[in-house]
């Protein structure tokens, strides 16, 4: 695993424990696990929907806004798993909606 031995892994674990604290580690682990799960789901989705993508491309051309890229969708899914970030993303979406209505 990247040439790291048990001593280096223990030192990294201690540093992470000191930075985040014991109470936050389960939340962080849960968020990372959810992100990995979501990445696997997106990968399955992409492999099974290759034929549907052609039809979606035609529909996307008709829409005014281009759809978000794969990287943007993955980033949003990962960020939604982190505690507190989902609230910030919701506020940003509401602010964008208000901005669009005012312009």
The tens-digit pLDDT sequence of the chain (103 residues) is: 468 888 988 898 889 888 888 888 888 888 888 888 888 888 887 776 665 555 555 555 555 566 677 777 777 777 777 777 777 778 888 888 888 888 7
Q: For residue 1, is it within any domain?
A: no
Q: For residue 8, is it within any domain?
A: no
Query: How confident is the model at residue 36, as a pLDDT?
Result: 86
Identify the sign of the CA torsion 42, 44, 47, 48.
negative
The total domain count for the chain is 1
Q: For residue 47, is it within any domain?
A: yes
Query: How confident is the model at residue 79, as a pLDDT?
Result: 73
Q: For residue 15, is it within any domain?
A: no
Q: State which residues form the domain around 37.
A: 26-102
Residue 44, SS3? Answer: helix
Q: For residue 52, is it within any domain?
A: yes
Q: For residue 82, is it within any domain?
A: yes
pTM score: 0.39
Burial of 59 (0-12, 13-18, 19+ CB in 10 A): exposed
Cα–Cα distance, 32 to 83 (Å, whole number): 11
């Amino acid at each position: 695993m990247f040439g790291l031995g048990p001593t280096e892994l223990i030192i990294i674990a201690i540093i992470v424990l000191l930075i985040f604290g014991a109470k936050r580690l389960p939340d962080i682990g849960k968020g990372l696990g959810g992100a990995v799960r979501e990445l696997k789901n997106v990968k399955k989705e992409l492999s099974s929907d290759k034929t549907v993508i052609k039809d979606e491309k035609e529909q996307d051309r008709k829409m005014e806004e281009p759809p978000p890229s794969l990287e943007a969708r993955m980033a949003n899914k990962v960020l939604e798993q982190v505690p507190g970030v989902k609230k910030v993303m919701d506020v940003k979406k509401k602010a964008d909606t208000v901005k669009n209505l005012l312009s």
